[in-house]
Structure 1
């Protein structure tokens, strides 16, 4: 492990809505669906966004038809754009800044997501041979997040993601190399509604897999690579996700689980699981 591994706080990867100008509620579009009660265009404030940039229905989002809001995570991109890129000047006081601010937010969100994954890879002892390269990648992406709005707009984000993803793929292979038995490869697989109760998926490659509404009750997902896996409404009751690679809070928030679901120490048990 590197001598000093920056914490998520040091990298500002934990969302702080109180330091953000409600950017996810304005910059991003959403369509009327099971996740959102109405349509909203990008750049248009949500009707529930209050004057202080807080959500007026935050405590009852799910019951009000805004489940999609409860599973979104900007990885701290909102406060970075609000307080660093634009120096604490909000789009209401300076309307002219709005287009650049709203354009910067989704770019920053992708960069912060990459920082989250690279930081996790750096925390894995088995990935030690890659730590120097991962450290360089972390420093490079972190430097990108500190550029001005024009620099963010000019970034070739797909190219940045592709370069970092090569490293993360190598890290995943090293982290899963000593998992005993056959390691299943379901990368990008369509497993929507799949019956995977008590499945032995330890060390599996589930990168980008569609696990929407899949039955994963009691499944062994230890050290499974779940980067980008769609876990919306997946049933994780009693599943073991300890050591799952690149699992995010947003993925857990989108899924269903219970008190018996075992989670990585860095992630929280979603509050709505108790009611599911």
Structure 2
């Protein structure tokens, strides 16, 4: 994936810590309104408790991924000018950030779709959609604020769905699109080529499941157990989804994604004490 679609917090003005709201829950220790800086945000835009977010009650922060939207808004849209000291600019910046994040997420999906051999017949259309979306990420703040984002997403989603169908053709995978699979017992399930678009898999047991070529766009993987699951070749899986799930060193991920630091290590078994001679 292009580096521009990966978050670089060192080039961002802490936008996710200010622009977005969050509510006190299992994901956040406190509530915060949109546009209000998190109390853990430092003057240099770093997080004061970054090394201990999960221990301090902020696992939601470790799951979030802006797809590089933060640095794009900070360094390109607003040319390196931050939100402090200018309420008007702050308001526009906080309005643009969630729009930019969605555009960058679409760029992630389109880039992946372009790499699918089975979807090569759609590459001209995918390339055109990629170029159009890329241009929008360089538009003015005013243009992005007025953008009909749902219409743009809908148009892109049609292309992504067609690419997914071509990639999964012939696998015989089940169609569980939008299914309520919260807490489902799917250990060792054969879900190769399945459509799990928008499926609710919160807390589901997918240990050892075969998810190769499964379409996971928009699937809710919060607290899903992916220990030993095979997700190589899965379609439209993102880092934020992986971060929200549970897994270990035996979980197989696509090469574009990284194993979260909070995932447990694979069990090695207890060493037997040496016999005395």
* TM-score, scaled to structure 1: 0.95
Q: How far off its partner does 1:124 sit? A: 0.9
Quick one: distance in 1 between partners of 2:94 and 2:149? 16
Q: Could you tell me which residue of structure 1 aligns to residue 178 of structure 2?
A: 188
Distance apart, 1:98 and its partner CA: 0.3
Shift of the alpha carbon at 1:275? 6.2
Aligned-residue CA RMSD (Å) = 1.0
Q: Which runs of 5+ in 2 are unaligned?
A: 267-277
| Deviation at residue 274 of structure 1 after TM alignment | 2.4
Q: Secondary structure at the match of 2:263?
A: helix
Structure 1 match to 2:192 = 202
Q: Structure 1 residue 97 and structure 2 residue 89: aligned?
A: yes
> Which residue of structure 1 lines up, in the alignment, with residue 13 of structure 2?
21
The answer to whether 1:67 aligns with 2:56 is no
**Aligned residue in 2 for 1:116:** 108
Residue matched to 2:205: 215
Deviation (angstroms), 1:152? 0.4
Q: Tell me which of 228, 253, 257 is aligned to 1:238.
A: 228
Query: C-alpha separation between the residues in 2 aligned to 1:125 and 1:222?
Result: 15
TM-score in terms of structure 2 length:
0.94
Between Structure 1 and Structure 2, whose CA radius of gyration is higher?
2
**SS, match of residue 169 in structure 1:** helix
Counterpart residue number, 2:272: none
| CA distance in 2 between partners of 1:148 and 1:53 (Å) | 24
Aligned to 1:88: 80
- Specify whether residues 58 and 275 from structure 1 end up closer, same or farther in structure 2 by C-alpha distance, changes over 3 A only: farther
User: CA offset at residue 115 of structure 1?
Assistant: 0.3
Aligned-residue offset at 1:8: 1.2
Q: In the aligned structure 2, how far is the partner of 1:21 from the partner of 1:33?
A: 25
Alpha-carbon separation, structure 2, partners of 1:183 and 1:86: 45
- 1:137-195 alpha-carbon deviations (Å, 9 max, x no partner): 0000000010011000010000000000000000000001132xx32011000000000
C-alpha deviations, 1:115-154, integer Å up to 9, x for none? 0000000011111000000000000000001001100001
Distance 1:166 1:232 in 2: 26
1:249-260 alignment to 2 at 5 Å?
Answer: 249-260=239-250
Task: Give the equivalent residue in structure 2 for 1:8.
Answer: 2
* Distance in structure 2 (CA, Å) of the matches to 1:215 and 1:267: 21
Q: Deviations over 1:204-251 (max 9, x none)?
A: 000000000000000000000000000000000000000000000100
